[in-house]
Every structure is written in C-alpha cells, then in structure tokens.
Amino acid sequence: MKTRERTTGNIIELEEVSKKYQLGEVCVTAVDNISLGIAPGEFVVVLGPSGSGKTTLLNLIGALDTASSGDICMDGKYITRMNRAERSRYRRETVSFVFQSFNLFPGLTALENVQFGVESAERKPNGGTAKEMLSRVGLEHRLHHFPHQLSGGEQQRVAIARALATGNPILLADEPTGELDFKTGIQILELLHEQSHSGRTVLIVTHNREIARVADRVVELSSGHIVRDGVPENHIAAIADLSW
Ligand SMILES: Nc1ncnc2c1ncn2[C@@H]1O[C@H](COP(=O)(O)OP(=O)(O)OP(=O)(O)O)[C@@H](O)[C@H]1O
Ligand SMILES: [Mg+2]
C-alpha cells in the first residue's frame, strides 16, 4: 500500500501526471507525463496556446478531474489517492477557483455569488467581506445585479472576487483577464499578485505572453508537455509597466 502523505516543501507536486480523454476511437492526451513542483507563495503563470492542456492541468490540481496516471500531492497529501468525500473536503479547504467560464450561479446576485463562495470555503476570508471584495474589483455599483445583467468582464470580476474572498491557500485562476480591457486587467493582476505576497500560492493560466512577464515563474505548455519552466523572458517587476 502506497503512503498517503509526503513532505517535499512544495505545496503542489505532480509526479508524471497524464490525462487522456477517449472520444470514440480517438484518444486525446491533454496532459502528457507532467512532473512539477510549486513552492508555497509562488506566483506562477501557466502559459500555452489554445488546446495545450492548461485548463485540464488546473482541473487536475484542483481535484475537479482525475488523472489517468501519475500522482498529485497537494499540501502534503496525495489527492490522487483520496476518495470522493476526501477530495471534496480538499477542495473546500485548500483551493479557490476562478473558472475560465466563470461558473456563477445565475439565480444569485453578484453579492450572493461571492457570499456563497465565502460560506462554502472551509477557511474563512482573509481578504475582507464579500462586499469589500466586490468593491476591490470595481463592482461596488453592481452588488445586486444577476449574472445575466452583467457584462462578460463584470462576470469575470465577480468570479475573481469570489475566489479572493476565501482564505484557501491555493488560488487557481483560468484566464482571469480574458474578458477584461487592459486597464481593468492590470488592476486584477495586481490583486492576484498581492495574494501571493500574503502567502497564498497563485497559479494563473493564460495564453497572453505579456502577462507571463510579471510572474515569479512561467511554466510553458505545448501539446500537454512542459516545454519551458523558469523565470519569465523579459521579466518585469512592476505590473503597472505591462502593456498588451
Ligand atoms: N472532456 C474532454 N473530452 C475530450 N477532450 C478534451 C476534454 N477536455 C479537453 N479536451 C482536449 O484536451 C486538450 C486540452 O484542452 P484544455 O481545455 O486543457 O486546453 P487549454 O490549454 O485550456 O485551451 P484554451 O486556451 O482554449 O482554454 C484539447 O485538445 C481538448 O480538445
Ligand atoms: Mg482553457
């Protein structure tokens, strides 16, 4: 019997992880034998073109999907060896998500969506109340709007406020600036960056090479493989100096 715990100092540890999808006769390898270790408090950008496996990788790390092979150890515990109940508890206690498609509840207002995130997370917010978080993403005037009454960028900011309002130690954000204009995008990146300064581990997925320049570390994917892992090319320290 394999041990269920491990100590490496990394909060995220992937060991030869693959994810294959079977579509009829065709097998798609979305994540192909990836090994990766991420230390607590790192601000990491996962970069890669459309279809390179970024969302699949994030879903595996967040225990929203199961690996076809390999092991994933999060915060010292192998999520790949957990049962459903343990995985569900891990999600509530350890990760906060910003989904590529936002996943807001259509019948809840912006404020209620963020409150729901706070209430369902095991660890209580360290960043302020739901209302304060919505104000930090510039939506203090949209608290009582339902998702269908919000623009794409506003919905994205509600999803970000929901993730920021929980106290879970790992923040996974899938294309968090994809719907935002440049100025709002910079503000959101600054907010996400601040999270890593306060000790959270932040993983941002993007296909935008400019955004990668402000990361501590860039993990670049192509066809499910890591093709580069290190400090970003042309690194810049100040997010305000970015342009795209
Ligand atoms: N549920 C699924 N069933 C079958 N194939 C899938 C499934 N999910 C993803 N794939 C395939 O796996 C590959 C990686 O998909 P993924 O969504 O991880 O890419 P991505 O890098 O996030 O792309 P994008 O930038 O467009 O969001 C793609 O070729 C995709 O078609
Ligand atoms: Mg994706």
Q: Is the CB of 178 under 6 A from ligand 1?
A: no
- pLDDT by 10-residue block (mean), the chain, 244 residues: 70 97 94 97 96 97 96 94 94 91 94 89 70 94 97 94 90 93 89 90 94 93 97 83 77
What distance in angstroms lies between residue 52's CA and the mean position of ligand 1's atoms?
A: 7
d(CA 228, CA 244): 22
Sign of the dihedral through C-alpha 47, 80, 63, 43: negative
3-state secondary structure of 198: coil
**Which residues are registered as beta bridge partners of 203?**
44, 172
Residue of the CA atom closest to atom 18 of ligand 1:
53
CATH number for region 12-241 = 3.40.50.300
Q: What are the CA-CA distances from residue 14 to residues 18, 76, 163 (Å)?
A: 10, 12, 23
Q: What is the reported pLDDT for 43?
A: 95
Q: Is the CB of 28 under 6 A from ligand 1?
A: yes
Determine which helix (DSSP H) or strand (DSSP E) holds 90, and give its type and residue range.
Answer: helix 84-94
Q: What is the reported pLDDT for 1?
A: 47
Residue of the CA atom closest to atom 28 of ligand 1:
51
Can you tell me which atom of ligand 1 is nearest the CA of 52?
A: 21
Residue of the CA atom closest to atom 6 of ligand 1:
21
